[in-house]
Amino acid sequence: MSYIAVAGGVNVDIGAFSAQKLRTKDSNPGHVRTSLGGVGRNIAHNLRLLGAEVELFTALGDDGYARAMTESCEELGIGLSHALRVPGVRTSSYVYIADERGDMALAVSDMTICDRLTPDYFARHLDVLNGAALVVADTNLPEESLQYLAEHLTVPLFIDPVSTAKAEKLAALLPKIHTLKPNGHEAELLSGVSVVDRNSARRAARKLIDMGVKQVVVSLGKEGFLAAAEDETVWQPAPDAEVVSTTGAGDALMAALAWSFLRGENLSRMAALGAAAAAIAIECAETINPDLSAEAVLRRAD
């Protein structure tokens, strides 16, 4: 099986989980957990748990966070030989607050180091990127770098929009994207179609397909998601799961979509496997559920 290249951000995640209903402008009892994350890294981690070979293209500082990130990737088998090392710059971090149900209520990210992931950086590694089976990118990359990848990759490009603010970077790139995984807000921003339910998600997905995206997966959270291609539309309800934390569901879904595409699965099967991976992810307090595996996903999907 060929490798998957992942281009995106790494973070040290600091998560605060409230034990009761959140009160603003007040101290809320709960617990705090620190872990290694970032959309790009989380997708890479999930892909390794699914058995894929992964090369991670990202930026690291020269601090303790970078050392911890390097040690973790080495332990997991995530390739970092092409990562950018930036002396004197702090590795990015992400702080989030979750409510008593485990749903994220607020977050702040410090990811200025990602600005160093320039088109020149990716140009130096273009042969490695195009040697992959596919490239997964997140929008923590600078807009001009996303444009460079869209224009120079000869392999399928999967993109996670990350947030509505960062999804704006993709507006001019849609015809170059193979698979796009927005949530409802991001799909609405990019398509111009208000997304409030399954039917409107379908309309937004069809609009994005008309705009040139080959496959679109619009997530509607706990309801499930809609997957669409030019000649097919699939509604995938969320499988039954005991929700502990929803933070890592999107990363697991994107990883499973890329992994199942690499397996040669059709859209309907990709959706089922993606839903299974997301369900496994939310059954763990950590962003990455260590119980995720190809066998677990296949078993849950079936």
Task: List Cα–Cα distances, 214 to 4, 226, 227, in angstroms.
Answer: 19, 14, 11
Q: Model's pTM, two decimal places? A: 0.91
What CATH number did the domain enclosing 58 receive? 3.40.1190.20
Tens of pLDDT, residue by residue over 288-298, are 999 999 999 99
Percent over 90 (pLDDT), the chain = 84
For residue 1, name the pLDDT band (cuts at 50, 70, 90): low
The whole-number pLDDT of residue 3 equals 97
Q: Which residues contact 276 (CB under 8 A, 6 or more apart)?
A: 239, 256, 296, 297, 298, 300, 301
Determine, yes or no, domain membership for 30: no
The whole-number pLDDT of residue 25 equals 93
Determine, yes or no, domain membership for 209: yes
Half-sphere exposure of 264 (CA within 13 A, CB side): 2
* 101: amino acid identity, one letter: R
Determine, yes or no, domain membership for 100: no
Beta bridge partners of residue 55, listed in sequence order? 5, 79
Determine, yes or no, domain membership for 22: no
The whole-number pLDDT of residue 241 equals 86
- Domain hosting 262: range is 3-10+38-85+114-301
* For range 120-126, the mean pLDDT: 98
* For range 219-243, the mean pLDDT: 91
Beta bridge partners of residue 226, listed in sequence order? 218, 235
The whole-number pLDDT of residue 103 equals 84
**What's the number of domains the chain is made of?**
1
CB atoms within 10 A of CB 178: 16
Asked if 122 contacts 7 with a C-beta cutoff of 8 angstroms, the reply is yes
With a cut of 90, say whether residue 94 has pLDDT above it: no
Determine, yes or no, domain membership for 177: yes
* For range 32-45, the mean pLDDT: 92
Percent over 70 (pLDDT), the chain = 100
Determine, yes or no, domain membership for 33: no
The whole-number pLDDT of residue 221 equals 87
Tens of pLDDT, residue by residue over 234-246, are 999 988 888 888 8
The whole-number pLDDT of residue 274 equals 97
With a cut of 80, say whether residue 20 has pLDDT above it: yes
| Among the listed residues 101, 27, 37, 53, the one whose alpha carbon sits nearest the alpha carbon of residue 258 | 53
Determine, yes or no, domain membership for 20: no
The whole-number pLDDT of residue 115 equals 95
With a cut of 90, say whether residue 124 has pLDDT above it: yes
Strand order of the sheet with strand 11-18? 30-37, 11-18, 93-98, 104-110
The whole-number pLDDT of residue 285 equals 84
Tens of pLDDT, residue by residue over 244-280, are 888 899 999 999 999 999 999 999 999 999 999 999 9
Determine, yes or no, domain membership for 190: yes
